[in-house]
């Protein structure tokens, strides 16, 4: 019997749950929506170019804007109006591991005298279909929405920066890699959990060594996946904020997701260290007890 092996068993169980949540958070409407990887905020898209084009009658934006009702126009000019809504776009697109969700900010996208930033919530309309190794492609999604709404405006009219898509395309290979790593990590965490549970009933050094090996692999996979997802979040958000500011598009880091994935790595590290400790100290303990018998 090795009752203290309950510690790594509990750590592995926690890591397994956290690992699954990393993969499945946001996989359907209102299931852990806050645990997004990146959220794209398009609520102010095109806002800054409206005035600069209203005098130019050949520009499709000004034609569209001038065709809007007077009260909508004045709403938009007073910063209160939601131009994305008028264009048929959603206020936000939140990227998860398997899909993206979209919807509107309630009560409105911008804080004002009566509505503070804390009171603004995401109201998810729906989520996309789930796909393994999902790649977020905002250019296609936004253009599709514009086409569906029939306003006759393209992303190019809104000065959508090609650099955003180019930058995100460069991250695709990392996204595929971290998705595969999460799956591998969950597999190894599960194996470590089973072997740690079996080790509760043995005292042999072999089972301790096996657990050191399995928990090292599990920790390596989850830590590497966390590092890659962190890199994608930091790089992706900087990219969108850099090129999108001009046209009113911004991005938010998924801090809750980062907490989740690093917590999973943390508990796996505890399990790994515990097994390393057990392999060394347990060995000496057994040697002492053999010496005692002899
Ligand atoms: C556009 O111009 C109007 C009047 O000149 C002004 O009130 C409004 O704030 C401007 N809107 C933007 C988006 O710059
Ligand atoms: C603040 O924003 C909300 C929602 O967009 C709106 O209903 C309200 O009238 C605004 N308040 C002021 C003072 O502009
Ligand atoms: C969320 O959006 C739906 C329509 O998509 C609307 O019926 C509902 O009232 C909204 N919820 C809040 C809290 O604004
Ligand atoms: C999502 O899945 C449903 C049913 O599985 C299918 O009918 C629909 O076309 C899919 N949507 C997209 C955008 O692929
Ligand atoms: C959405 O983006 C706009 C402009 O970038 C910003 O002013 C606003 O505060 C953002 N809204 C939320 C809820 O993050």
Q: Residue 204 has what pLDDT?
A: 81
**Is the per-residue pLDDT at 10 higher than 60?**
yes
Q: Residue 281 has what pLDDT?
A: 83
CA pair distance 26, 152, nearest whole angstrom: 32
Q: Residue 102 has what pLDDT?
A: 93
CA pair distance 41, 119, nearest whole angstrom: 16
- Structural domain contains residue 252: yes
Closest CA to ligand 1's atom 8: 77
Q: Which residue has the higher pLDDT, 282 or 292?
A: 282
**Is the per-residue pLDDT at 294 higher than 70?**
no
Question: Residue 154 — pLDDT band, cuts 50, 70, 90?
Answer: confident
Look up the domain containing 212 and give its range. Answer: 3-285
Question: Residue 293 — pLDDT band, cuts 50, 70, 90?
Answer: low
**Is the per-residue pLDDT at 292 higher than 70?**
no
Question: Residue 207 — pLDDT band, cuts 50, 70, 90?
Answer: confident
Instruction: Give the three-state DSSP class for 16.
Output: helix
pLDDT tens digit string along 17-75? Answer: 999 999 999 888 888 889 999 999 988 887 777 666 556 666 666 677 666 666 666 66
- Structural domain contains residue 294: no
- Structural domain contains residue 290: no
The total number of structural domains that make up the chain: 1
- Structural domain contains residue 176: yes
**Is the per-residue pLDDT at 266 higher than 60?**
yes
CA dihedral sign, ordered 13, 17, 23, 24: positive
Q: Residue 46 has what pLDDT?
A: 75
Q: Is the CB of 51 under 6 A from ligand 1?
A: yes
Please name which ligand lies nearest the alpha carbon of 104: 3
- Structural domain contains residue 293: no
Closest CA to ligand 2's atom 1: 112
pTM for the complete prediction?
A: 0.86
Atom of ligand 1 nearest to the CA of 50: 13
CA pair distance 92, 3, nearest whole angstrom: 50
CA–centroid distance, 143 to ligand 4, in Å, is: 18
- Structural domain contains residue 292: no
């Amino acid at each position: 019997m090795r009752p203290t092996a309950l510690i790594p068993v509990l750590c592995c169980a926690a890591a397994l749950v956290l690992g699954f949540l990393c993969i499945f958070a946001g996989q359907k409407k209102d299931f852990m929506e806050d645990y997004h990887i990146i959220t794209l905020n398009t609520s102010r898209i095109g806002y800054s170019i409206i005035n600069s084009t209203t005098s130019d009658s050949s520009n499709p934006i000004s034609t569209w804007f001038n065709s809007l009702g007077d009260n909508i126009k004045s709403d938009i000019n007073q910063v209160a109006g939601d131009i994305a809504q008028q264009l048929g776009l959603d206020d936000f697109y939140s990227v998860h591991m398997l899909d993206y969700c979209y919807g509107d900010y309630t009560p409105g996208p911008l804080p004002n005298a009566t509505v503070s930033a804390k009171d603004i919530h995401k109201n998810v309309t729906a989520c996309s279909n789930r796909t393994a190794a999902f790649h977020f492609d905002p250019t296609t999604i936004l253009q599709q929405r514009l086409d569906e709404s029939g306003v006759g405006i393209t992303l190019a009219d809104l000065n959508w920066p090609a650099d955003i898509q180019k930058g995100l395309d460069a991250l695709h290979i990392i996204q595929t890699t971290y998705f595969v790593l999460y799956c591998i990590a969950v597999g190894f965490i599960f194996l470590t959990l089973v072997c740690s549970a079996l080790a509760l009933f043995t005292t042999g050094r072999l089972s301790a060594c096996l657990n050191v090996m399995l928990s090292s692999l599990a920790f390596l996979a989850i830590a590497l996946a966390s590092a890659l997802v962190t890199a994608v979040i930091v790089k992706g958000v900087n990219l969108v904020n850099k090129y999108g500011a001009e046209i009113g598009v911004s991005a938010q880091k998924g801090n809750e997701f980062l907490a989740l994935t690093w917590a999973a790595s943390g508990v796996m590290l505890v399990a790994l260290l515990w097994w390393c400790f057990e392999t060394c100290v347990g060995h000496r303990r057994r040697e002492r007890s053999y010496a005692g018998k002899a």
